[in-house]
Structure formats: C-alpha cells, structure tokens
Structure 1
Amino acid sequence: MSQVPPLGGLNASYTSAQIRRNRLILLGVVLVLAGLVAFWAFGPHDAKDQSATLKAGDCFQNLGTDKEARIKKLGCTDPHADYKVLKMDKDAVVDTLSCSDAPGTTGSLTQSSPGHWFVVCFENNDDKGR
C-alpha cells in the first residue's frame, strides 16, 4: 500500500541553516519596506515652501510654477513680493468655495498632503517696492 505524504509542515530537504537564511532574507525585506514607508511619511520635505505659514496680510513670491507652487514669505514692500494673502483657510479643500467671501481675490493656492489641507486666497501686491 502506498503512503500519502503529510500536507504542510517543513520539507525535510531544507536544512536548518537554509531555513535561518530564508528567515533573515524575509526579515531584511520587511525592514527595508518599513524604512521606505517611514522615510516617505516622516522624511524631509521641501523645507523651502512656506505656504503653510501664511496668514492674512502676509506677502509672498511663488518660486515654483502654477501647478507646483513653492512659496517664499516676504515683507510686503519687498520688490519680489508679488502677492498678498487675503485669507488662509486651514479647513478648506475647494478654493472656489473658500475664496468666494474674500473680495479682491485674484488667485488661490490649494495645498494638500496627508492629513493637511488648506487654501490661500490672494491678490496682487500693490505695496511691493515701496
């Protein structure tokens, strides 16, 4: 009569050294993935973007593009301060709704990152260079 091999369990063809090596490889892969996730979540972000620090009355220059803004906060009389903040809404997601009650708005900036959304309503800075 033939015997059916048992299901599951360790295969007798693996030595304890091979099992230990495979576990170490698996552990290494898990640690690398955990490190990548941690770096993405807590790693350095563009520290030059100061958009989150803006408040009504502040002036700024956009060093980036319209699609990828990089804000530098400046004094309103600085010749490079192109825009003046009319409203900073830290609870907003949609700029058209948030800026509808800020008269004189000529543009808006919407920033989003995990757990952090805000809208900045601004106008052209008429005080620059004074």
Structure 2
Amino acid sequence: MIAFANPQPEELTVSQLPSSGGLNASHTPEQIRRNRLIFLAVLLVLAGLVTFSALGPYDTKDQSAKLKPGDCFQNTGTKENAKAEKLDCTDPHADYKVLKMDKDAVVDTFACSDVPDTTGSLTQVAAKEWFVVCFKENDEKGKN
C-alpha cells in the first residue's frame, strides 16, 4: 500500500497580510507621540514666522516719502542709505526739519538751491517714485 502525504495549506494570519496604507503597526505609541510633537513644533515655528513677517518691526521702515514741509525726522539709517523716521519736532531725537518736498526732482542740488537755510537733502531715485527732501537742523529739538 502506498500512502500519500496530504500537505496542509498554510494558514495566513493578519500580521502577514500586506499593509493597506493605514497606521503601521511597527510604530510604538511613543514614536507616534514624538512625531506629533515634532509636527506641532514645526507648525508653531511656521506660524511664528508668518506672524513676524506680517507684524514685523515697523520702526525700520522708511517714512521719507510721507514727509511734508514742517515735519521733523530722525535718520535711522546711514548717510548712504538714509531711513527717515517722522517724529514730533520737540522730540529729542528729531534732528532735522523738512523745508521742502519736491516729488518731481531727481537732483538735490537743483531742488534745494532756492530754499533758504537748507543744510542737507535726502534723495530717492527709484523705478516707481523719486523725490528730494530739503531740510535743516531742527532748532525745536528737545523743547517742550
């Protein structure tokens, strides 16, 4: 008599099935918690950067285009890259007083030559806007 061995089919368990794209069972709860904290930290940093860029330091912006005769200002930039901060004329930091604002001028020598008491000028030449501000030293500085 001949006996044949009847092989039994292999049984599959759930852990042997291919992943369906859901949570990977190999991640521990600690790893999932850590990944969530990293994601939250990145999200907070991005939110902070967006907020800073939207509400950033406005004191560094140049206000020279908004100056009018009679206004006083302080140069918060350099001599080569001036940035005017408009101040009250009695402010101790208000170094200069505007005598003339010429929105059509490009050359300060011509724009300020006819303005008495001018001690300096601020010139901006840009693609969108150019102007010359003629000013003098502020004699009201620090007076109340």
Interval containing the TM-score (normalised by the shorter chain):
0.5 to 0.7
Equivalent residue of 1:57, what SS?
A: coil
Aligned to 2:13: none
Identity score, percent: 71
User: What displacement does 1:65 show?
Assistant: 0.6
Structure-to-structure mapping, 1:39-58, within 5 angstroms: 48-58=61-71
User: What displacement does 1:112 show?
Assistant: 1.6
Show CA shifts across 1:38-93 (max 9, x none).
xxxxxxxx871000000100000000111000110000000000000000000000
Equivalent residue of 1:101, what SS?
A: coil
What letter is aligned with 1:81?
A
Structure 1 residue 90 and structure 2 residue 103: aligned?
Answer: yes
TM-score (structure 2 length as normaliser): 0.57
| Corresponding residue pairs, total | 85
Large movers: runs of 4+ above 3 Å: none
Show CA shifts across 1:98-122 (max 9, x none).
0011100000000121121000000
Please give the alpha-carbon distance, in whole angstroms, between the structure 2 residues aligned to 1:119 and 1:69. 12
Structure 1 residue 103 and structure 2 residue 122: aligned?
Answer: no
RMSD: 1.2
Aligned to 1:122: 135
The gaps in structure 2 that reach 5 residues or longer are 1-57
Aligned to 2:72: 59
Equivalent residue of 2:97, what SS?
A: strand
What letter is aligned with 1:116?
E
What letter is aligned with 2:91?
D
Structure-to-structure mapping, 1:62-77, within 5 angstroms: 62-77=75-90
What letter is aligned with 2:90?
T
Please give the alpha-carbon distance, in whole angstroms, between the structure 1 residues aligned to 2:91 and 2:73. 9
TM-score (structure 1 length as normaliser): 0.63
What letter is aligned with 1:79?
P
